[in-house]
Amino acid sequence: MPCDLCIKNRQQNILVITVEETDSIRDLRQEIKARVAAEADEPLVFNGVELDDEDATLLEYNIVPDDCPGGPVLHLGGAPWRSFDLECQLPSGGHIKEHVTPETTVAQLKGRITSEVGIPYLCMKLFAGRVELRDPLPLERYGLSGDCAVQVRATRPLYAGPAA
């Protein structure tokens, strides 16, 4: 099923291309080259991960249609570590995604989670695997990228509302 894909270059210009999930990265690069030959050899990045396997499909990189107008956004000529969506697994079993940079501190991420889902800042610990993330440190210190997830754990039971 065809879907739109946005390609954003370093100058913040956006090119919209219609693709299939089964298209390879090589096919995508050829389409970009046909439209903007000068930039086609630049690195292509999606959600903090460089698309360096030319034979892989868009689906293998989890580049699938989303609810946003224009579809997923790929960065042409950007650095993989520039910014990415970090998946946060909540104590309730749910998930949220927060858009972060490597310079985002753990404390800033906790603040965003507090704002989004209401878990009190002081009742929250974040983990990447078995490693507890410390508040003053930036995410780059832990080597987190767009294909990583962070577990949010409550330090005490959270109030879920009155019993039914």
Q: The tokens of 60 are what? A: 């293998």
* pLDDT < 50 regions, the chain: none
Distances (CA, A) of 136 to 11, 45, 100, 103: 32, 28, 15, 11
Q: The tokens of 33 are what? A: 């080259």
Could you tell me the domains of the chain? 3-76 (3.10.20.90), 84-154 (3.10.20.90)
What pLDDT, on a 0 to 100 scale, did the predictor assign at position 101? 84
What pLDDT, on a 0 to 100 scale, did the predictor assign at position 131? 94
Cβ(155)–Cβ(125) below 8 Å: yes
Cβ(86)–Cβ(152) below 8 Å: no
What pLDDT, on a 0 to 100 scale, did the predictor assign at position 114? 93
* Predicted model pTM: 0.59
